Amino acid sequence: MSAGPTRRTPLDRWTFSIEGAVHQPLSWTWDEFRALPRATVSVDIHCVTKWSKLDTSWTGVSIDTLLDLVTPRGTFVLALCDGGYTTNVPLDDIRGGKAWIVDEYEGEPLDPEHGGPARLLVPHLYFWKSAKWIESPTPLDRDEPGFWEVRGYHDRGDPWREQRYQGD
């Protein structure tokens, strides 16, 4: 499900950067991004409308790898996407082996419909936090609600606590 049209960005025009509350802002071309250390993970994902999909396989770059390069100062991250979608996550929810920028699903390039060239994957939170067509996971020193969060979705979105809406 998407809040706008599927983005179709050619790889030579793809941009990815980390700016904001960081000591060392950085940007990557597609080739530079693909040269970073990669990981494949098998995880369960949870949609807010109750379905879960078990044991899905994704490949990409760990958020830890990226954060080590930029050294964040903030405590939150606002994911900014091509097309204007945003979603917020506490920094501690995406570091420590919990989140990735993925560009492959089940060993194949990630479909544009599902966020390709690359999306954020935060499997332990509801799937609206897994921002498709991500351009910048931006560390901030304050929490700033994203697209669905300003429309009433829960600020954190922990499926085990059924944190669907504000107040859950």
Ligand X SMILES: Nc1nc2c(c(=O)[nH]1)N[C@H]1C(S)=C(S)[C@@H](COP(=O)(O)O)O[C@H]1N2
Q: Which residues bind ligand X (CB under 6 A)?
A: 1-3, 47, 81, 83, 85, 114-115, 127-128, 130-133
Site for Mo ion contains 54 (CB under 5 A): no
Find out whether 98 and 83 touch, Cβ atoms under 8 Å: no
| Other Cβ atoms closer than 10 A to 76 | 22
Q: Pick from ligand X, Mo ion, none: which does 81 bind, CB < 5 to 8 A by kind?
A: ligand X
**Closest CB to ligand X among 14 and 128?**
128
CB 148 within 8 A of CB 128: yes
Contact with Mo ion (CB under 5 A): which of 30, 105, 128, 153? 128
Taking CB within 5 to 8 Å according to partner kind, which of ligand X, Mo ion, none is near residue 153?
Answer: none
118 half-sphere exposure, CB direction, 13 A CA radius: 28
